[in-house]
Amino acid sequence: MNTIYITRRETFNGAHKLWQEEWSEEKNWEVFGKCSNKNWHGHNFQLFVTVKGVPDENTGFVMNLKTLSQILKEKVIEPLDHKNLNLDVPFFKGKMASTENLAIAIWDEIYDIIAKNGGELAKIKLVETENNYVNYYGGKEPF
């Protein structure tokens, strides 16, 4: 079977800070450094979502990228874009706002709806800066 992987990129701009409520300001500074600035900082995030499948005979598509893009815009970009990741995002409330945790939360938010649309979510890559990014595979083996 010709299993293949398609990837869609979307972007969003958000503010956040790394801050552990149960720690002192000193401890937060020691661990998170300037990322703990109480007045926030922000990033141009790039999200790459990879879906796995076999190309359909009629369309040549694993999944229509228009559909995938609409799902991402509604479920991820709308709640995150031009938002404060610590304060404004229903599906991310109360979590440490690390890129790792955000990637996992995005996975959980879109896995089922992608499945309902005939795709299988395979990988999320979340790029925070040109020097830092994370990959998540739903806890499964990476690729």
Report the candidate in 80, 76, 55 with the shortest Cα–Cα distance to residue 65: 55
Nearer to its own copies, 2 or 116 (CB): 2
Nearer to its own copies, 75 or 95 (CB): 95
As measured in angstroms, the least distance from the Cβ of 74 to its own copies is 15
Q: What DSSP designation does 75 have? A: I
Nearer to its own copies, 65 or 115 (CB): 65
As measured in angstroms, the least distance from the Cβ of 71 to its own copies is 14
Report the candidate in 8, 3, 5 with the shortest Cα–Cα distance to residue 125: 8
Nearer to its own copies, 26 or 58 (CB): 58
Q: Which residue among 25, 41, 78, 82 is the active-site one?
A: 82
Is residue 35 annotated as a catalytic residue, yes or no? yes
Is residue 130 annotated as a catalytic residue, yes or no? no
CA 38 from centroid of its chain's CA atoms: 23
Question: CA 28, 31, 36: angle at the middle one, nearest 5?
Answer: 50
Beta-sheet strands, E only, within 36-113: 41-53, 83-84
Report the candidate in 86, 53, 78, 76 with the shortest Cα–Cα distance to residue 124: 76
As measured in angstroms, the least distance from the Cβ of 118 to its own copies is 13
Q: Which residue among 10, 35, 43, 120 is the active-site one?
A: 35
Is residue 10 annotated as a catalytic residue, yes or no? no
As measured in angstroms, the least distance from the Cβ of 72 to its own copies is 11
The catalytic residue positions are 35, 82, 128
